[in-house]
Amino acid sequence: MRNIFTLSALLLIILCPSQIHRFIYEMQYKMDSTENGLEKLNMILDIGSKEVKFYGQNLAITDSLNKKFGMNSDYTDMSGQVIKRRINSFDNENYINIKQGYYSFKTTDKINWTISDEIKKSENYILQKASTRFGGRSWTAWFCKDIPFNEGPFKFRGLPGLIFELSDAGKNFIYTLVRSQVLPDSYSTENFVESNFGNKAVPINEKQKHKLMIEFYNDPFAFERNTFSKTNSDLKININGKEIHSVDELNTQTKSMQEVIRRYNNPLEIDKAVHYKE
């Protein structure tokens, strides 16, 4: 692990509680649990005086470029790990893209930890081991008591110190803290967490979320199919770089997309995974 903090950074954490303390984690993850290969994403944990937020770094980068250059780009985060919560709370607001929409739903995600006496040294930090079971997986965390935040990646919180490393037993998800910085308390995520680049989150519940995901799986190109039905047969639609000229070709693309959805159905909370029918 790279040296994350300096003495001055630690002093800032202690002396400036009103600022936002940002911790960037490298997340390695398996899109397909049957494969050995791991994808990588940087994820951001923002700890403010009132709220905690966790989201993909690419969302923040896109928003920053839009503001700097007057652009109107967007980015779809497919990690399934965009959340916010009140400080010191297990009540999460979850944000997700489904079909052509952006939605939010609430969950309470209490995590019960078992803290071990086992410790290890990483750079200049002493880390202590803890374990839990959450989302249908068994997890091991290494946290640092010297960093005074009881937070960590995604919904993992409640330990007496910041989580530096986190992984599940099957190594489907591996988080490593790689960097930190301090931001002004005025830093806003309104454009890319609470809304998705102009598409404000629509509140739903988990049952409605499940229904929307099933509907998308059953007909992932419903909009394109509707377009075919309303126009003449000369219409050409581009899907993933391929020109589609007929409903039959669209049906072939639908089956291919359904195979992809089933194959990459490996969410962190595997106990809430949608069970798709072939």
What are the residue boundaries of the structural domains of the chain, listed by start? Answer: 7-200, 206-272
- Does 7-200 carry CATH code 2.50.20? yes
Q: How far is CA 151 from CA 198, 221, 267, in A?
A: 29, 39, 21
The mean predicted confidence, pLDDT, of the chain is 91
Predicted confidence band of residue 240 (pLDDT cuts 50, 70, 90): confident
Residue 238 has pLDDT above 80, yes or no: no
pLDDT at 7: 43
Which three-class secondary structure state does DSSP give residue 152? coil
State the maximum Cα–Cα separation within the chain, in Å, rounded to a whole number.
70
Predicted confidence band of residue 11 (pLDDT cuts 50, 70, 90): very low
d(CA 247, CA 268): 35
Identify the weakest region by mean pLDDT among 12-16, 30-34, 217-221.
12-16
pLDDT at 16: 63
65 vs 230, higher pLDDT: 65
In DSSP terms, 129 is beta-bridged to 142
Residue 44 has pLDDT above 50, yes or no: yes
Percent of the chain with pLDDT over 70: 91
Residue 91 has pLDDT above 50, yes or no: yes
Residue 8 has pLDDT above 90, yes or no: no
CB atoms within 10 A of CB 15: 8
pLDDT at 224: 81
234 vs 164, higher pLDDT: 164
d(CA 143, CA 125): 10
Percent of the chain with pLDDT over 90: 77
pLDDT at 100: 82
| Confidence (pTM) | 0.92
pLDDT at 256: 93
d(CA 185, CA 17): 9
